Amino acid sequence: SSRNQEGVNMSFFDYFKKTEPKDVLRDLCQRLVISTLKYRATINDSNNLKSSNAAAELLFLLLHLVDISMFALLSQQKRDFYFNYLTLETIRDYFAACLKQETPDDIKSAIFNELLERFNSRQLTYSKCKSLMGDEFPWPGSKLFAFSFFVMRELDGKSRVKFEEILAGDTKMSESNRKDFPSFETVLENTVFILSYVKAIDIERYIRKLR
């Protein structure tokens, strides 16, 4: 009957309304992970753990930029649900691509929790930075300078103290501690990478599909 057919059609369209956001998020997740793995391949370090941890910093920054776009374009409820889902899936997919298949589950769980904790910490840092690039060049106070600092720290394994205010641009670097932060050349090189990835992913296009 026409009523039964109408019911079938409603179920059909309701199904796609419910699954479309998930498809969009999965596609965006794949793009974020692939970009991060490409960046990892550019890191000249033979230590797999160091290179995977350093490249994870790109994933954290990209997720932060996704969060900014979601906050601007979506309702609070949608932003919370979609961003939480995307964060968990993206971090899980990234470390799964970096680990050997035979890695024990307890180690996988520990690594996942560590990456999630690091991401939450980066969210706090990046939220204090004034902008992605800064007014003229990515220097202290910009997210790109902070990103370069975190990559540098992961690669050289040094633990630096009292860096948050410098990264936020609230305190100037002194000549004595300049060596503890990325050089002009390093920040410039990272900027080229980041902007190319951001342009290729086209985050805002995906977020608009979720509205």
For the entire predicted model, the pTM comes to 0.87
Structure tokens at 142: 């910009």
Give the pLDDT mean for 74-103: 93
Smallest CA-to-CA distance from 145 within 130, 124, 156 is with 130
pLDDT for residue 31: 96
Considering the chain, what percentage of its residues have pLDDT values greater than 90?
57
Under DSSP, is residue 174 helix (H, G, I), strand (E, B) or coil?
Answer: coil
Higher-pLDDT residue of 19, 64: 64
Higher-pLDDT residue of 68, 174: 68
pLDDT for residue 14: 52
Per-residue confidence band for 174, with pLDDT thresholds at 50, 70 and 90: confident
d(CA 31, CA 35): 6
Per-residue confidence band for 177, with pLDDT thresholds at 50, 70 and 90: confident
- Is residue 15 over pLDDT 70? no
d(CA 80, CA 160): 32
Residue carrying structure tokens 């979720």? 210
* Cα 80 off chain centre by: 16
Q: Which of 15-19, 139-143, 162-166, 175-179 has the lowest mean pLDDT?
A: 15-19
d(CA 56, CA 99): 13
Residue range 181-200, pLDDT digits in tens? 998 899 988 998 899 999 99
Q: What is the DSSP letter of 131?
A: B
Tally of residues, the chain: 211
